[in-house]
Amino acid sequence: MPQSLFHPLPGGPLFAVAPEEAWPFLGALLNATGCGIALLDRELRPVWVNGALAALSGMEVRAHLGRPLVDVWPRVAVSLAPLLSRALSGENVVEAPLTGVLSPASGELHLRVGLSPAHQAGVLAGVVLWLRDDTERVHEEARLRERESHMRSLADVACDGHFLHENGVVLDANRALAHLLGHDSPRELIGHHLVEWVAPEYRPAVMSAVARGVETPYEVLCVRRDGQRIPLEVLGKHVTWEGRQVRLAAIWDISGRKAAEERAERTEHFREQLLGVVGNDLRTPLQTIQMGTGALQRLGGMEEPQQRLVGHMAQAARRMERMIHELLDFTRARLAGGLPVRPESLMLDRLVERVLEERRQAHPGRTLLMETQGDLRGHWDETRLTQLADTLLGSVLQHSADTTPVLLKLVGAVGGVTLSIRNDSLTVPVEDHATLFEPFRRGRPASAEGLGLGLYIARQVAVAHGGRLTVESSQGGTRFVVWLPR
């Protein structure tokens, strides 16, 4: 049943005078406001409350009437008392915040309170109280602040600094940017024009980018507060801030990247110099020595000691040539991103057979066996694979017992070809497998005919072809395994 606008207290006067026929309309109006409304007498006891207020209190309407507010709302009475005093003094209280518990069921509420003194014939008759539940809005604002803080944290992590500007004038900035520019606080940046931190030679380009609204990254040289210059990368976007269009700029310190680029340039320069020295300055005199020793050997007529001396010179020249080739390959693999290869169609068994025959001539007392299986055709660099096979076979021969055979096996499959070289007397400790193919590895003396780069270069040859080189050891010997895609 609709509540009457006024509920006279037993034995008390009416709170106000209004035509009785107007009461339903006024009641509907007061109940339709969406606010909790109470009419209080001069002792601040409710004489009328609407349904919204009863819902906020969690009590029946009649449970409010005639009771002191300290009994009705004991948990907010203390906070509400100063506001009621102001209303009793004739002041209109508008939108005063109030936080507290009106009922155990509702929990803590964030309220907006309004109070207006009610007069009749110039005499204070009571107070009109209204309450609006602002809890959801307060919670939403808290969530928005939390999300804003989260987004700022993400921005702080995603870049080295960020700021907002309007036509170049800084409106807001984060602390990381202030520190990057040599300032203690973002407040020191706000209100200043961004060109104050841009190197003079970059200012025209920066102002052009700002004027055109460039939204692609660009680089700029920044001048810190202490005069130090640092390279930055800038990415700007249009955003809405406080109702107007401004620019958000994200900043990255690219000092490390620039330093790396400079180191790469120096490394490239060094590589070119080293390749030039090794490839020309050393190889040219070596070729002269080889031509000279070859001419002496062809002339003949030398006595035995002289022949041995020229032979030693020729052998030393060949070792030096091999070391130069290894050093060139090592330099290419480490500084040029890998060994160059020139694949061509060939049969791998024929290539390995030639290597095997050369090693038989050099080691006439060793037993070298070869087995083949499947299709051994493919596209590989003949010179590089000859180098790989010869290096592996030479290493096995050097470190294995002379009385044990060496078995080379070629197996062709759908995806590629496998070359394995096995000797039962050679043992490589498992703990050495991970470093066996490293250059200049400690604990493995360099070969008498090289720099200890042979296995490293052999693996690089396999990698350059898209393949791999591994070693397997057991009590029954050691096997090098090369897999090459066709």
pLDDT in tens, 72-128: 999 998 899 999 999 999 999 998 999 999 888 878 999 999 999 998 888 899 999
CATH architecture for segment(s) 344-485: 2-Layer Sandwich (3.30)
pLDDT at 277 over 70: no
pLDDT for the residue numbered 6: 40
Q: What is the mean pLDDT of residues 411-439?
A: 89
Token digits for 473?
């050891």
pLDDT at 16 over 80: no
Sign of CA dihedral 391, 396, 399, 403: negative
Q: Give the type of residue at 113.
A: V
Q: What is the mean pLDDT of residues 229-253?
A: 91
Q: What is the mean pLDDT of residues 283-305?
A: 81
pLDDT for the residue numbered 439: 75
Q: At the fourth CATH level, which superfamily is domain 20-138?
A: PAS domain (3.30.450.20)
pLDDT at 398 over 70: yes
pLDDT over 70 percentage in the chain: 87
Q: What is the mean pLDDT of residues 187-194?
A: 95
CA 246, CA 239: separation in Å to the nearest integer?
6
Instruction: Quickly state the pLDDT bin for 446 (edges 50, 70, 90).
Output: very low
Q: Give the type of residue at 218.
A: Y
Q: What is the mean pLDDT of residues 451-478?
A: 87
**What burial class does residue 147 get, using C-beta atoms within 10 Å of its C-beta: 0-12 exposed, 13-18 middle, 19+ buried?**
exposed
For 24-40, the pLDDT digits (tens) are 777 677 776 678 999 99
pLDDT for the residue numbered 271: 67
Instruction: Quickly state the pLDDT bin for 373 (edges 50, 70, 90).
Output: very high
Q: Does domain 159-253 have CATH number 1.10.10.10?
A: no
pLDDT at 348 over 90: yes
Q: Order the strands of the 108-120 sheet from edge to edge.
A: 46-49, 36-41, 123-133, 108-120, 93-101
pLDDT at 380 over 60: yes
Q: What is the mean pLDDT of residues 5-18?
A: 43
Residue 124 φ/ψ, nearest 5 degrees: -65, 120
- Contact assessment for residue 90 and residue 117, using Cβ atoms and an 8 Å cutoff: yes
User: Which has the minimum average pLDDT: 317-326, 350-359, 474-483?
Assistant: 317-326
pLDDT for the residue numbered 329: 75
pLDDT at 12 over 60: no
pLDDT at 61 over 70: yes
pLDDT for the residue numbered 77: 87
Q: What is the mean pLDDT of residues 221-244?
A: 92
pLDDT for the residue numbered 335: 62
Residue 178: which H helix or E strand, with range? helix 175-180
pLDDT over 90 percentage in the chain: 44
User: Which has the minimum average pLDDT: 10-14, 131-135, 279-283, 416-420?
Assistant: 10-14
DSSP assignments along 232-283, one per residue: EEEEEEEEEETTEEEEEEEEEE-HHHHHHHHHHHHHHHHHHHHHHIIIIIIH
pLDDT for the residue numbered 1: 37
Residue 206 φ/ψ, nearest 5 degrees: -65, -45
pLDDT for the residue numbered 316: 79
Q: What is the mean pLDDT of residues 277-290?
A: 73
CA 140, CA 129: separation in Å to the nearest integer?
26
The domain limits of the chain are 20-138, 159-253, 259-335, 344-485
pLDDT for the residue numbered 173: 93
Instruction: Quickly state the pLDDT bin for 406 (edges 50, 70, 90).
Output: very high
pLDDT for the residue numbered 475: 77
Instruction: Quickly state the pLDDT bin for 263 (edges 50, 70, 90).
Output: confident
pLDDT for the residue numbered 276: 64
Instruction: Decide whether 20-138 matches 344-485 in CATH topology.
Output: no
More confident residue, 30 or 422: 422
pLDDT for the residue numbered 33: 63
pLDDT for the residue numbered 3: 41
More confident residue, 270 or 386: 386
Token digits for 338?
């890998």
CA 14 to chain centre: 74
pLDDT at 23 over 70: no
pLDDT for the residue numbered 41: 92
